[in-house]
Amino acid sequence: MKVRKATPEDLNTLMELFEIAKQYMVTHGNPNQWIQGYPSAELILLQIEQEWCYVCEENGEVVSTFCFIPGPDPTYAHIEGEWLSDTPYYVVHRIASNGKVKGTADFCLNWCRQHCHSLRVDTHQDNKTMQHILEKNGFQYCGIIRVANGTERLAYQLDF
């Protein structure tokens, strides 16, 4: 797989990936994480413009996406628990794939590891798939954070 920064021309494909991911979440016991129009095309376009949104291509086809955002993230300022460290970190958000290539989340996280020394991620308590992926990739559970709408997320960090 090849990673590149997303472009505005990728927006429709990315929104399709998010719809596939939402359907996957619903059928795997996580119907409440990406709801009420989240993520919006406006948010994704903004993050493309900020050069934080990436795509993974396999044989020229976009098969997954993720956002790799430099911290600090204001959402992570308060945690019910404790972060592993206060070192500068990047945040990984919105990993999604079309399901055609196995291991894309692992691939995305490994790519991020190669570009910083500390990663933070959060996920919904019902997102057992992402929790398993994070733990398999060495992330440690640190506590609970609250996202902008006030709902809880499980917070993870990996320092290396």
C-alpha torsion angle, residues 39, 41, 44, 50 (rounded to 10): -140
61-70, strands of its sheet edge to edge? 2-5, 53-58, 61-70, 90-97, 118-123, 152-159, 140-146, 80-81
pLDDT tens digit string along 38-48? Answer: 999 999 999 99
CA distance 10 to 54: 10
Question: Side chain identity at 37, as an amino acid letter?
Answer: G
Which domains, ranges and CATH numbers included, belong to the chain? 2-159 (3.40.630.30)
pLDDT per residue over 17-54, tens digit each?
999 999 999 999 988 888 888 999 999 999 999 999 99
The pLDDT assigned to 4 comes to 98
pTM of the model: 0.94
By the 10 Å C-beta count (0-12 exposed, 13-18 middle, 19+ buried), 29 is classed as: exposed
- Amino acid (1-letter code) at residue 25: M
The pair phi, psi for residue 80, each rounded to 5°, is -85, 90
